[in-house]
Each structure stands twice: as C-alpha cells, then as structure tokens.
Amino acid sequence: MFDRNGKDDSSYNVDNYTFVKEHSPKVGELIQKEYERQQHNIELIASENYCSEAILAACGSCLSWKYAEGYPTNRHSGNESRYYGGTKYVDELEEYCCDEWRKVFHTDYHVNVQPHSGSQANFAAYKSVLKPGDTILAMSLDNGGHLSHGSSVNFSGKLYNCVFYDVDENGRIDMEDVKKKARQYRPNLILAGASAYSRIIDFKAFSEIAKEYGAYFMVDMAHIAGLIAAGEHPTPFGYADIITTTTHKTLRGPRGGMIFCKKELAKKVDSAVFPYAQGGPLMHIIAGKAICAEEAQTPEYKAYIHQVVVNCKAFCDEFLKLGYKVVTGGTDNHVFLIDLSDHKFSGKDLQDALDEVGITLNKNAVPGDKRPPKKTSGVRVGTAPMTTRGFKEEDFRKTARRIDEVVRRLDKEFAE
C-alpha cells in the first residue's frame, strides 16, 4: 500500500479484513473487496483521502468503548462537566487535541473537536448564532457550494431563509454580487466556503462586507483546510467569527468535523454541539483527529500539500490542452470541475463509464447547469488522494489522457 508520505509500504496495516473474516465472513469479504478497489483504482474524489496507519489504529482502539458526554471541564465556569465517570484520560486526550489544532492554524480561537461530521459542525455553528427563519447568504449548490449551505432539501434550507450570491461569467465568486445581496437581504450570517470551487477565496473581502451589514461571518473550510494549514491558501483566522471543517479531506485524517470560533462565541458553540446537536463524542475519532493535527505540523505534510496543488494545476492544464471546458478556466487549489455541457452524455454517464476502467470521480453540477442533480453536466476531480499514493505531475497528465479516451468513446456511443 503506502505510508502517510506516499511511499510504498507493504507493512501498512489496513488489510485487517483477514481478522474480521474469522468472525464475520460476509463483512470481512466486503471490506476486502473495498480495500482492493481502493488499492487498484485511481481515486479522484476531492473529498476523499488516505489517512496514516496510526490514525486508523486510533480509530479502532479501545476508545471506541468510552462514553464521555459533555466536556473535559466546563471551560466557561471551571466546573467539571462530564456526565460519566472514568474520563480522566479522555479528558486529557480531548484537551490535547484542541491544543494541537490551535497550533496547526496558529490561532487562539476556541475549538470544539466533537462534531461527528462537517454537516454536524455546520448545524451546530448555525444554531450558535442564528434562530430558525434567520437569513443566511451563501454560495448555492450548483455554483459550487455544499448541501448544508442552504440547499432546499437540507436542514439548512428548511430551517433558515437562505439566499445565494452568484458567480460571474468565468465561474468565480462575484464579490460585487455578494455586497449587493448583503445590502438587499441584510443576512444574519454570510457564509464563505465550497465543495467544488477551484479558486482562492478572499476572506478579507467577505469579512468587510459582513461587518458593513452587521452579519456574522462564517467560513466552511472543509475542502481547503489542509491548504490553509500548509500555507497554500490564505487563512480565514482573524477574519471569520466561526470556522467549520472536516478532518478527512485535505487534512488527511479520520472522518469527522470541528468548529473554531472567536472566544466570545465559545459557550454558544459548545452548547450547540452538546447537548443541542449531539450526545456522546466519539473519543476514538478524537484520538485520530489529534494524530492528524500532529501530522499536519510536519515538514512532510507541507511538502505533500504543495505537491497536491502542483499536481492539480498540471492535471487541469492537461485537460485544457485537450480542449475541455474547465469551470473558472483553471485551479488554485486541489480541485476543479470539467464542464460537459456541450456533450450529449451527462456527468453521471462519465462517472459510471470511468468506474468500469478503475477511475473514480463524482458527477457535479456546473454553474447554470440545465441537467438535474442526479445527472449533472459536469464532473469534479481532486488530486489529494492520489498524491498521497505518490502520483506526480506526469501521472496526472496520463490520467487526463485516459479519461479523454473514455470521453471520446462516450461521444461516439451517444452520437449513434
């Protein structure tokens, strides 16, 4: 397989399906099949990555057994606030995890490491400063935003009055429209962040607009958190009131979420996570998050993230050379969107066809998409997982040419 620095490592202990099969043949078999798929497929899903063996081990440790509802101490009064006994060591672990993440981002912000996912983090973050019916100004799903940024089918769109700023004709965030919509709708919260946006986000400009119109400023940095940690993208710290993230994308950690906030919002954020949104924290995942934070502070990690960005530009440039339309015309980070609007087949068709040849990516809407969400007119590609596996620029150029072969085949099939 590979170690956390992308080097081949046959001792990488993730093939525990052998042990599982002794106790549950069916589950073990399915884990083995997925393990083999991950070993042999080219993984281009921008929200996925491969964590280290140490993180996997922590996530499967005895910490899975421990309940620890509440927090290590009541950070706001100094009183004990766990609702279970026997928490001495997990208390130390959670505090250590929080401290390490502050080091990663060079911040004194308060941090809550308990959210089970990015969407859970967003749910709690909204609750900490908003009430149902309040207005959120965000990027829409079809322009590159996330489901939890106000989609009508998601809790965010059902609980809050969500309005959306647009992208310009080049697919870039239109800051003039952000200001226009802030003036028009007077939102309670302005949200920056995306799941499919390939350019640098100007957090300072967003912050100034939020201040001008009296809104909280929130950043969902789930996709670019690793780039921010490594200095490959400007930081939102110092500008945003609340910052949410996942730990499993470019941060290369376990599946989970976190919330950072200015100190004056700490009590509201903590109570919105527990007891409002969640019960007991997943202490085994928090252990994995702590190791992830340690790894994110190493020179090897910074070199890895730099290679992710270099690889993404090479990958994108190869598609442009082959004549493809790329949303925004390029990329500054780890992801970009290929616009297939001019083809007769959909993003879903290409996703399925690539699955058959061992390349994994996901269908994705593009700005102004006329196809439904289950079909889409685009695909999203990211370079973080394969960079972990040791891919360099030429590997991604070859992959682009392989994808082009499949596209040409689909063009012929759909022309018949």
Whether residues 213 and 102 share a domain: the answer is yes
**Of 43, 220, 270, 395, which is the active-site residue?**
220
Distance of CA 329 to the CA centre of its chain: 22
Instruction: Say whether 220 is catalytic.
Output: yes
Please classify residue 405 by burial: count the beta carbons closer than 10 Å to its beta carbon, then call 0-12 exposed, 13-18 middle and 19+ buried. Answer: exposed
Instruction: Say whether 250 is catalytic.
Output: no
Whether residues 291 and 333 share a domain: the answer is no
Q: How far apart are CA 122 and CA 273, in angstroms?
A: 10
- What pLDDT, on a 0 to 100 scale, did the predictor assign at position 17? 83
**Of 181, 199, 249, 380, which is the active-site residue?**
249
Q: Is residue 81 very low, low, confident or very high in pLDDT (cuts 50, 70, 90)?
A: confident
Within a domain: 132: yes
Q: Report in angstroms the alpha-carbon separations of 302 from 1, 230, 251.
A: 21, 5, 11
Instruction: Say whether 246 is catalytic.
Output: yes
* Proportion of the chain above pLDDT 90, given as a percent: 89
Across the chain, mean pLDDT equals 94
**Of 15, 48, 53, 67, which is the active-site residue?**
67
Instruction: Say whether 304 is catalytic.
Output: no
**Of 87, 135, 235, 246, which is the active-site residue?**
246
Indicate left, alpha or beta for 406 from its phi (over 0: left) and psi (-120 to 50: alpha): alpha
Residue ending a domain, choose from 243, 275, 296 = 296
Whether residues 141 and 206 share a domain: the answer is yes
> 243-253: per-residue pLDDT in tens?
999 999 999 99
Q: Is residue 6 very low, low, confident or very high in pLDDT (cuts 50, 70, 90)?
A: very low
Is residue 230 within 8 A of residue 305, CB to CB? The reply is yes
> 132-162: per-residue pLDDT in tens?
999 999 999 888 999 999 999 999 999 999 9
Whether residues 328 and 380 share a domain: the answer is yes
Sole residue written with tokens 């992830």: 292
Dihedral Cα 35, 380, 154, 283, nearest 10 deg: 40
DSSP alpha helix (H) spans, 105-202: 118-129, 155-159, 175-185
Rg (the chain; Cα; Å): 22
Q: What is the mean pLDDT of residues 340-354?
A: 98
Q: How far apart are CA 296 and CA 114, in angstroms?
A: 19
**Looking at the predicted structure, is the pLDDT value of residue 2 above 50?**
no
Helix 283-296 × helix 88-104 angle, to 10°? 30
Within a domain: 199: yes
Distance of CA 55 to the CA centre of its chain: 18
Q: What is the mean pLDDT of residues 74-83?
A: 68
The maximal CA–CA distance of the chain, rounded, in angstroms, is 72
**Looking at the predicted structure, is the pLDDT value of residue 18 above 90?**
no
Whether residues 96 and 214 share a domain: the answer is yes
Whether residues 308 and 291 share a domain: the answer is no
Please name the residues in contact with 62: beta carbons below 8 A apart, sequence gap of 6 or more.
Answer: none
Whether residues 221 and 354 share a domain: the answer is no
Range of the domain at 400: 300-415
The side-by-side arrangement of strands in the sheet containing 335-339 is 325-326, 335-339, 378-382, 362-364
**Looking at the predicted structure, is the pLDDT value of residue 175 above 70?**
yes
Within a domain: 41: no
Q: Which residue has the higher pLDDT, 342 or 15?
A: 342
> 32-49: per-residue pLDDT in tens?
999 999 989 999 999 999
Residue ending a domain, choose from 229, 264, 296 = 296
**CATH value at residue 225:** 3.40.640.10
DSSP alpha helix (H) spans, 77-117: 88-104
Within a domain: 45: no
Q: Which residue has the higher pLDDT, 20 or 282?
A: 282
DSSP 385-411: HHHHTT--HHHHHHHHHHHHHHHHHHH
Residue 66: both structure tokens together: 């421990």
- What pLDDT, on a 0 to 100 scale, did the predictor assign at position 75? 63
- What pLDDT, on a 0 to 100 scale, did the predictor assign at position 16? 77
Within a domain: 238: yes
Whether residues 163 and 268 share a domain: the answer is yes
> 88-112: per-residue pLDDT in tens?
999 999 999 999 999 999 999 999 9
Q: What is the mean pLDDT of residues 190-218?
A: 97
Whether residues 120 and 229 share a domain: the answer is yes
Instruction: Say whether 202 is catalytic.
Output: no
Q: Is residue 241 very low, low, confident or very high in pLDDT (cuts 50, 70, 90)?
A: very high
Whether residues 85 and 177 share a domain: the answer is yes
pTM, entire model: 0.94
Whether residues 389 and 283 share a domain: the answer is no
**Of 21, 75, 102, 255, which is the active-site residue?**
255
HSE, side-chain direction, 13 A CA sphere, residue 333: 33
Residue ending a domain, choose from 296, 325, 340 = 296
Whether residues 306 and 291 share a domain: the answer is no
Q: What is the mean pLDDT of residues 208-221?
A: 98
**Of 69, 95, 134, 174, which is the active-site residue?**
69
Q: Which residue has the higher pLDDT, 142 or 272?
A: 272
Q: Provide the number of structural domains found in the chain.
A: 2
> 52-64: per-residue pLDDT in tens?
999 999 999 999 9
**CATH value at residue 387:** 3.90.1150.10
Q: How far apart are CA 275 and CA 257, in angstroms?
A: 16
Within a domain: 53: no
**Looking at the predicted structure, is the pLDDT value of residue 10 above 50?**
no
Within a domain: 8: no
Cis preceding linkage at 234, omega within 30: no
Please classify residue 341 by burial: count the beta carbons closer than 10 Å to its beta carbon, then call 0-12 exposed, 13-18 middle and 19+ buried. Answer: middle
Nearest CA to 173 among 143, 218, 148? 143
Within a domain: 386: yes
Residue 13, H or E segment:
none
